[in-house]
Amino acid sequence: MRPLLSIGALLPLIIAVLGYSQDLGLQTGNINANGQLDTEYERLIRLHRARNASRIKRDAKAAIKGASPCTGDFQQPEYQLSTFQFNQTTVEAGDRSMTHFELIDVANNISTPCTTPYLQDPSDPVWNECADGSDPIDPKTVFKFTASTTKLELSQMWICELGNKTHPHIYFSSASIDLTKQLNCVDDPTQTRCTVADDAVSPFNGDYVTPVWKSAEVTIPPSTEGDKETPRNEFVCFGTSFSYPNWDVQDFTSGGGDNGDSVTFRLNNHANNQSVACTIQKGEWTSCDDSTRVRFTEESSEIAVIQTWTCNGVKYYSTNVTFQAVGSAPIDLDSTNSTYIKGSLTKPIEITPDVSPQGVNYPGCLETSEAPSWIVTSWVWNEAWKAGYNTGNLTATFYNPATGYNMTCTGEGEGYNRDGRYGLDEWSGCALESSPFSDYQIRTMINLNAVTGVFSIDQTWFCNGHDDKLPSEFRARGGAETTLECAWQNDTATNINIKTCYQTEPFTVHGNITKQEELTKDIFFEMQPSGYSCTMSSVLATQWQAFFNYDVLYAQPLFPNTFEAKVYFSIVFMALEGYQSVAYVGTSVTPGLPNYDPDRWYDCWDYIRNEVTSSVWARNSIECKWQLDLATGYFAINHTWFCDDKTPEQPIIFHGEGSRFFNYSCYIYGRDDDEFECDPVEANPRYIMPTSLSWKSVSVEELQGLIGAY
């Protein structure tokens, strides 16, 4: 083949066939002195106008109607070619070509015109769409012809929408043929033109894939329970029962009875604000009423309690819950003061609550706060220069020895770049975890001087009192120089330069107290928490909610083993007061195709953005997996998480499994949009209730080991 046309000579041909002159941004040429096209160009334009008119006429009727797998009257396609023509020429960018032919499915009496919509590299062509009909049962057909191998490849897909709008049935047909022996090529003054005689190609076929519905066994049977309300700390009786199942003993007297072997007292329950009068024999477990048993041991002067009570459902939480707690404490027989008994729950969960604002009861909090400092264990700083826009970001992890509180802070903006426009005194507030004691939450800000490398911390925290020392609020600020190792990443394609610096060793930031204020003596004693409780919600109302969508993007070529679908949804889990966005793209989630795997479990992760959605989920969720079978609407979740809002020194690991069936509808947006979507019919889907739920208490060290294992 010998290329003859220059870009200037070829352009009128491009304009006549495609109308792309504006898109190409070029000027036409080869106009003679009389303002007319040269004779050769007139001939070419007439030829392409004739072809275009023929194509338009065919487009008007779309395609010769025939059978379709959507109607059931269909056989495996068998292809034949008609009016095949390949044209190649040369432009400044190199060899370019176009291909035209009529694709005939002789097995089903369907004819479809196919042509490349623009000039392409003959050695590396793209997939092109044929002029299929617009009827929903018509196929989508793509092709490409590679001149270097003389290979024509075809691929067809039918999406058969079902009357009940459940997942469409998808059919695929693909085939290829080598036209080396059939091509008849000639050179003319403008191009090389190759044709194939209609009778030179025998009917041919390839792979024909029909949907196979292979739904798995239901591994987690759906629960029959209805949705539950999510309890809150403020709910009368409920919040205090999970937080303070404690008592005080008042009016204790000993020596009563005929033999002086009984004691009398009043027992006040701090959880339900009820009291009971007791007269019992020393040394024996005795019932004060139907729900309270106590024992007083004279040798140790210890009083022990086992009590059961019920919190009655309130307006926003209608379920009654039974609690049981045990506790003991020594009685000072010579004192008239009340005796405080700290209790441990045994029902509905076995825990010893230790509820207070974060860090206030940390050993030595008051004393250590007098000389404030922070230990920085991780520190990463990025500076970026982006074509005149200079920015940066810093991520630092550190803890306060006074509170034992460890946190990670991130700051970003132009203030974290030495060439930033807004100065170097930019302080960034650290994201706060959800806290039941928002007024007494640890608050932190960080700053970096991008020129000197001095890193600064400003933090407010609280300490409980002890002995004759009152509780206090502290605020301190301090800075330290950093010792950095840095590396450059320069992307010449995007003109972005990034400098990344690490602090090589942990370092200490020493601070100065800027505020110290004493608080009232008992301010932190059984302080009422607020908001949702991870522990309460997990024990009483574990449930998930999933708002999911499912998109199928038509892949090109239209092969079943590369036909990817996208599942994306949000898992809302009120026990964590957070949610996680989930997104997965792959061939294993498209029902009916060879790679479909309804048995597979997927991580609760956004594989598209590759990010955590909420900090609460990131902190408390240990492992989460989901399973979806769109052939049946079955959705299941397998989730492990921990709660430490009631027991910070003894976190509770929960494991729950749940499932349900979703009713969903699928909509095909049209072949031009290359997409169809499936959504649940319910605007506000019902919760996924647990079919199994278990928990166990572990140490903080054991929890960290488990988190590391995942």
- For 438-489, write each residue's pLDDT tens digit: 999 999 999 999 889 999 999 999 999 999 999 999 999 999 999 999 999 9
CA distances from residue 219 to 627, 654, 657 in whole angstroms, order as listed: 10, 20, 10
Cα–Cα distance, 573 to 578 (Å, whole number) = 6
Paired with 626 in beta bridges are: 602, 637
Q: How many helices (H) and strands (E) does the chain have?
A: 8, 39
pLDDT band at 10 (very low <50, low <70, confident <90, very high): very low
pLDDT score for 227? 83
For strands 373-386 and 274-281, give the pairing. unpaired
Q: Cα separation of 515 and 58, whole Å?
A: 83
Q: CA 708, CA 702: separation in Å to the nearest integer?
A: 10
What CA dihedral angle connects 100, 105, 110 and 112, to 10 degrees?
A: -10
In this prediction, residue 617 has a pLDDT band, given cuts at 50, 70 and 90, of confident
> Tokens 């007439």 — which residue?
46
For residue 337, the 8-state DSSP code is: S
For residue 5, the model assigns a pLDDT of 30
- What local confidence, expressed as pLDDT, does residue 698 receive? 92
SS3 566: strand
**pLDDT at position 45:** 37
3-state secondary structure of 343: strand
Give residue 265's pLDDT: 96
Q: State the pLDDT at residue 672.
A: 62
- The model's confidence at residue 36, banded by pLDDT at 50, 70 and 90, is very low
In this predicted structure, the answer to whether residue 577 has a pLDDT above a threshold of 80 is no
Quote the CA–CA distance of 225 and 666 in Å, as a whole number: 28
- Three-state SS string over 79-136 comes to EEEEEEEEEEEEECCEEEEEEEEEEEECCCCEEEEEECCCCECCCCCCCEECCCCCCC
| Percentage of the residues of the chain whose pLDDT score is greater than 70 | 87
DSSP tag of 575: G
Q: Which range, of 40-49, 329-338, 502-511, averages the lowest pLDDT?
A: 40-49
pLDDT of 53 over the 50 cut:
no
Alpha carbon distance 72, 65 (integer Å)? 14
Could you tell me the pLDDT band of residue 310, with boundaries at 50, 70 and 90? Answer: very high
Instruction: Report the alpha-carbon distance of residue 137 to residue 162 in Å, rounded.
Output: 11
Rounded to an integer, the average pLDDT of 302-329 is: 91
Question: How many other C-beta atoms lie within 10 A of the C-beta of residue 427?
Answer: 14
Please give the share of the chain, as a percent, with pLDDT higher than 90. Answer: 55
pLDDT digits (tens, 9 = 90+) for 255-275: 766 667 889 999 999 999 999
* Main-chain dihedrals φ then ψ at residue 204, nearest 5 degrees: -140, 160
Decide if 11 contacts 21 (C-beta within 8 A). yes
Q: What is the pLDDT of residue 41?
A: 37
The reply to whether the predicted model has a pTM over 0.85 is: no
Is the Cα dihedral 504, 505, 506, 510 positive or negative?
A: negative
Q: What residues pair up with 328 in beta bridges, in sequence order?
A: 304
For residues 9 and 30, give the distance between their C-alpha atoms in angstroms, rounded to a whole number. 6
pLDDT in tens, 628-653: 988 888 999 999 999 999 998 899 99
What's the confidence (pLDDT) of residue 190? Answer: 82
More confident residue, 189 or 483: 483
Residue the block writes with tokens 């007297």: 253
* Gap between the Cα atoms of 654 and 693, Å rounded: 7
Q: What is the pLDDT of residue 35?
A: 37
Q: What is the DSSP letter of 560?
A: G
Q: Based on C-alpha coordinates, what's the Rg of the chain?
A: 38
Least trusted range by pLDDT, from 3-7, 203-207, 695-699: 3-7
Per-residue pLDDT at 670: 64
Token pair belonging to 129: 């769409």
**Residue closest to 278 by CA, chosen among 299, 256, 260, 258:** 256
Closest among 433, 515, 511 to 473, alpha carbons compared = 515
For 576, what's the count of Cα atoms within 13 Å in the CB-facing half-sphere?
A: 27
**CA distance from start to end of the chain:** 61
What pLDDT, in 10s, does the model give residues 54-98? 333 333 333 345 689 988 889 999 999 999 999 999 888 788 999
Measure the CA–CA gap between 543 and 541, rounded to whole angstroms.
6
Q: Which residues pair with 192 in a beta bridge?
A: 88, 187
Mean pLDDT of the chain: 85
The number of C-alpha atoms within 13 Å of 188 and in the hemisphere containing its C-beta is 10
pLDDT level of residue 618 (50, 70, 90 thresholds): confident
> Under a CB-based contact definition with an 8 Å cutoff, are residues 265 and 253 in contact?
yes
Question: According to the model, what pLDDT value does residue 188 have?
Answer: 84
Structure tokens at 52: 């275009």
Of 50-54, 215-219, 353-357, 624-628, give the lowest mean pLDDT range.
50-54
The confidence score (pLDDT) of residue 61 equals 35
* Residue type, position 43, single letter: R
Q: Give the residue among 11, 6, 36 at the shortest CA–CA distance from 24.
A: 11
Instruction: State phi, psi for 465 to the nearest 5 degrees.
Output: -90, 170
pLDDT, average across residues 35-43: 40
Are the beta carbons of 509 and 369 closer than 8 angstroms? no
Question: Which of 666, 695, 431, 705 has the alpha carbon at shortest distance from 548?
Answer: 666
Max mean pLDDT range (49-58, 515-524, 662-671) = 515-524
More confident position, 235 or 614: 235
**What is the Cα–Cα distance from 387 to 119, expressed in whole angstroms?**
35
pLDDT in tens, 398-435: 999 999 988 889 998 888 988 867 677 889 988 777 78
CB 622 within 8 A of CB 703: no
The number of C-alpha atoms within 13 Å of 490 and in the hemisphere containing its C-beta is 2
Looking at residue 316, its pLDDT comes to 66
Average pLDDT over residues 184-213: 92
- Three-class SS state of 579: strand
Q: Structural domains in the chain?
A: 7-209 (no CATH), 239-347 (2.40.350.20), 365-518 (2.40.350.20), 534-709 (no CATH)
Other C-beta atoms lying within 10 Å of the C-beta of residue 235 = 20
3-state helix, strand, coil in the chain (%, to 5): 15, 45, 40
Bigger pLDDT: 385 vs 178: 178
480 and 470 Cβ atoms separated by less than 8 Å: no
User: Which ranges of 532-635 would DSSP assign to H, the alpha helix?
Assistant: 534-541, 615-620
Query: Among residues 462, 386, 479, which one has the least CA distance to residue 427?
Result: 479
The strand pairing partners of 73, in sequence order, are none
CB neighbours of 46 closer than 8 A, spacing ≥ 6? none
How far is residue 458's CA from residue 448's CA, in Å, rounded to a whole number?
12
For 76, the token pair is 């495996």
- φ, ψ for residue 135 (rounded to 5)? -70, 140
The answer to whether the beta carbons of residues 246 and 327 sit under 8 Å apart is yes
The pLDDT tens digits of the residues spanning 151-162 come to 999 999 998 887
Q: Which pLDDT band holds residue 329 (cuts at 50, 70, 90)?
A: very high
Which residue in this structure is represented by tokens 């086992």? 306
Q: What does the pLDDT look like over 593-607, one tens digit per residue?
A: 888 899 999 999 998
Asked if residue 205 lies in contact with residue 175, where contact means CB atoms within 8 angstroms, the answer is yes
pLDDT (mean) for 222-236: 87
Residue among 344, 368, 364, 359 nearest 435 (CA): 359
Instruction: Look up residue 230 and give its two tokens.
Output: 């999510």
